[in-house]
A and B are shown apart, each in its own frame.
Chain A
Amino acid sequence: MTSPSNARIGSSASGKMLDIALILAITIASLLCLAPMVHILALSLSGNSAIMAGKVTLIPLDIDFTAYKAVFGNAQMIRSLGFTIGMVSLYTVIAMALTIIAAYPLTKKHLKGRDFFLFVIVVTMFFSGGMIPEYLNVKNLNLLDSIWAMVLPGAINAFYLLIVKTFFSSIPAELEESARMDGASQFRILTSIILPLSLPVLATISLFYAVGRWNGFMDALLYITNSNLYPLQLRLYEMVMNSQVNSMLEGIGTTVPVPESLKAASIMFATIPILLVYPWLQRYFVSGMMIGAVKG
């Protein structure tokens, strides 16, 4: 991990200058990454008059928690949060279960039809029916306006499936042998030998599934019209973007304009869960990305 060129020439003056320049460049890039979020945070905590005057930049002015009170007091917002947490959990559990029970048999080289099964799965990485056929499929299955419309159609990602399969294959076969001698069923071998040894990759892939579902928006836009089933992203879209487009078109919209601080607080409301878990989980994401990169 350490930069190989570090060892020797730290002392030269031009090397020092370069170091400083590099640190400066990365610092600026990092600040650019954070500044937009910091500005939204400042807006969400500022009083409306300071915001209207355009004074709020990166530090909140006239600190005011009204916007957060409004967001947390908004029954729809809270309902969407609860619904999203439930939906993401349900989705992650189902997706992981399906991914695992698909990956395990595919590691068995002697399984008749294995190549065909793999082909069936890999094809879906390159071809899809497209937005409208998928929509009509969900509609024909009577899943529109139900939680299942956001859980089932995306329940297995072929790419993640291959990552899990690769990991399972790397577990030495001898470990299974003795269990098989004792007459353990395949399901038993999977749950008591393979899965406990695969926890890191399972954690990583669960996170990928969960974050993808948390951030997902398009399927909800297509499949959900009942506002009781709006996930957080769709609720936020309705609230922040739609009202903005209306006011941008010089207030043709019939909706009451949403105060800027309230929009900012809603954005923070939907972002904070990600920000809270991100620092702890970052390395899992990176390791998962690495597995994927090596594989693909």
Chain B
Amino acid sequence: MAITTKPVRRTAPRLPFRSLLRDWQLYILILVPLAFFVTFKYVPMFGAVIAFKDYNIFKGIWGSPWVGFETFKEIFQMQGFYLALRNTFMLNLLDLLVSFPLPILLAIVLNELRIQWFKRGAQMVLYLPHFISWVIIGGIAIQLFATNTGIVNNVLKSLNLEAIPFLTEPVYWVFTYLGIGIWQSAGWGTIIYLAALTGINKDLYEAADVDGASRLRKIWHITLPGIKPTIIILLIINIGHMASIGFDRPFVLSNPLVTDVSEVISTYVYKTGIQSARYTIATAIGLFQAVIGLIFLLSADLISRKVNDQGIW
């Protein structure tokens, strides 16, 4: 009967441990990574229940008594929480407005360059800031923008202009935060668009040449429509992440004079949780943000399915 091995294998495992017997080596291989995911990802995920408990270090997570939604009632009365929530949305929204269009523009310009060595060199330079850590960027920002010692203000002063408090006045700080974000990410952000641009059918350009279309017209009528799906999907993904914000960037750029605009959820959780050791409160804030974030992400996915017939993952 068993002449060809494959069909037999497919019908054979009547015994439940048959596949275990055959694939035990594979199971051993995957066991360690799975143990890793359980220990370092799933345990903390379930550890987030302390948001509903009166967590006590000595009693541990499971020994501490349940308090239901008490902690959430408490955080909804905290002014700092609303401020952090507002700032998170504000900075993310502004970031989207100013940081989103630039990579598109930059990618189109790069794509139009005809001298290949120049294009490659420019790409290398433009991608570089993406690889510099936020701590270093924060250090550089101080050297550039400090009111008294920064180079930019030194230049302004030498031109008899007034110094600008880039890092110490809330409104200016927001501009600095956005500008540094552009500096760090605009170049790297072009990669996806450049990939999409290579997928545009070259015949379209040749047909346009025959019709005598100018380059600007070709960009408008061929290049832009060609990357439109990519633009839309990235826009939706970005909106999906509106409620979550990284820690490093706001943390290293902020200082005590601008916390009114620079305190975001991630840094606020750090301050309440790690620095003040109010674990329950900080966990509840994190959980609240995760839920809002999930709602945003799922809505984005829904919109994407409507618009593109394709989810965002």
Chain A residues within CB distance 8 Å of chain B: 1-10, 14-15, 18-19, 22-23, 25-27, 29-30, 32-34, 36-37, 39-40, 43, 54, 56-57, 98-99, 101-102, 104-106, 108, 110-112, 117, 120-121, 124, 126-137, 141, 152-153, 155-156, 161, 185-187, 190, 211, 214-218, 222, 233-234, 236-237, 240-241, 244-245, 248-249, 260, 263-264, 266-267, 270-271, 274-275, 278-279, 282, 285-286, 289-290, 293-294, 296
- Docked Cα-Cα span, A248 to B148, in Å, equals 9
Complex interface: chain A residues within 8 A of B308 (CB): none
Q: Considering the complex, which residues of chain B in the window 188-223 have a beta carbon less than 8 Å from any beta carbon of chain A?
A: 188, 191-192, 195, 198, 200, 202, 205-206, 208-209, 214-216, 218
Tell me if B187 and A39 are in contact (CB < 8 A): no
- Docked Cα-Cα span, A104 to B134, in Å, equals 34
Tell me if A187 and B33 are in contact (CB < 8 A): no
Tell me if A131 and B135 are in contact (CB < 8 A): no
- Docked Cα-Cα span, A6 to B274, in Å, equals 57
Chain B residues within CB distance 8 Å of chain A: 9, 13, 19-20, 23, 25-27, 29-30, 32-34, 36-37, 39-48, 50, 61, 106, 109-116, 118, 121-122, 124-129, 131-136, 138-140, 142-144, 146, 149, 151, 154-155, 157-158, 167-168, 183, 186-188, 191-192, 195, 198, 200, 202, 205-206, 208-209, 214-216, 218, 247-248, 251-252, 255-257, 266, 269-270, 273-274, 279, 282-283, 286-287, 290, 294, 297, 313
CB contact between A57 and one of B29, B39, B146, B151 (< 8 Å): that residue: B151
Tell me if B215 and A133 are in contact (CB < 8 A): no
Tell me if B114 and A108 are in contact (CB < 8 A): no
Choose among A43, A132, A248 the residue with the greatest number of B CB atoms under 10 Å from its CB: A132
Complex interface: chain A residues within 8 A of B214 (CB): 14
Tell me if B269 and A131 are in contact (CB < 8 A): yes
Complex interface: chain B residues within 8 A of A127 (CB): 45, 290
From residue B193, how far is it (CB to closest CB) to chain A in Å? Answer: 10
- Docked Cα-Cα span, A278 to B294, in Å, equals 35
Choose among B39, B202, B215, B294 the residue with the greatest number of A CB atoms under 10 Å from its CB: B215
CB contact between A128 and one of B41, B127, B297 (< 8 Å): that residue: B41
Tell me if B37 and A121 are in contact (CB < 8 A): yes
Please name 8 further chain A to chain B contacts, defined as beta carbons within 8 Å, in addition to the given A33-B183, A248-B168, A290-B195, sorted by A numbering: A121-B37, A131-B282, A134-B47, A156-B36, A215-B134, A217-B135, A249-B257, A275-B128
Tell me if B132 and A130 are in contact (CB < 8 A): no
Complex interface: chain A residues within 8 A of B25 (CB): 185-187
Tell me if A120 and B23 are in contact (CB < 8 A): no
- Docked Cα-Cα span, A33 to B36, in Å, equals 39
Tell me if B127 and A282 are in contact (CB < 8 A): yes
Tell me if A130 and B142 are in contact (CB < 8 A): no
Tell me if A26 and B113 are in contact (CB < 8 A): yes
Which chain B residue shows the least CB distance to A8?
B209
Which chain B residue shows the least CB distance to A274?
B131
Tell me if A33 and B114 are in contact (CB < 8 A): no
Complex interface: chain B residues within 8 A of A128 (CB): 41, 44-45, 290
- Docked Cα-Cα span, A16 to B111, in Å, equals 16
Which chain B residue shows the least CB distance to A278?
B131
Tell me if B287 and A54 are in contact (CB < 8 A): no
- Docked Cα-Cα span, A43 to B192, in Å, equals 35
Instruction: Assess A131 versus B128: contact at CB under 8 Å? Given A57-B155, A152-B40.
Output: no
Complex interface: chain B residues within 8 A of A108 (CB): 23, 26
- Docked Cα-Cα span, A211 to B252, in Å, equals 19
CB contact between B202 and one of A4, A23, A132 (< 8 Å): that residue: A4
Tell me if A9 and B209 are in contact (CB < 8 A): yes
Instruction: Assess A241 versus B135: contact at CB under 8 Å? Given A4-B200, A129-B48, A136-B279.
Output: yes
Complex interface: chain A residues within 8 A of B139 (CB): 236, 240-241, 263, 266-267
- Docked Cα-Cα span, A3 to B9, in Å, equals 52
Tell me if A30 and B131 are in contact (CB < 8 A): no
Tell me if A267 and B140 are in contact (CB < 8 A): yes
CB contact between A217 and one of B50, B143, B248, B256 (< 8 Å): that residue: B248
Tell me if A271 and B136 are in contact (CB < 8 A): yes
CB contact between A40 and one of B127, B140, B167, B186 (< 8 Å): that residue: B140
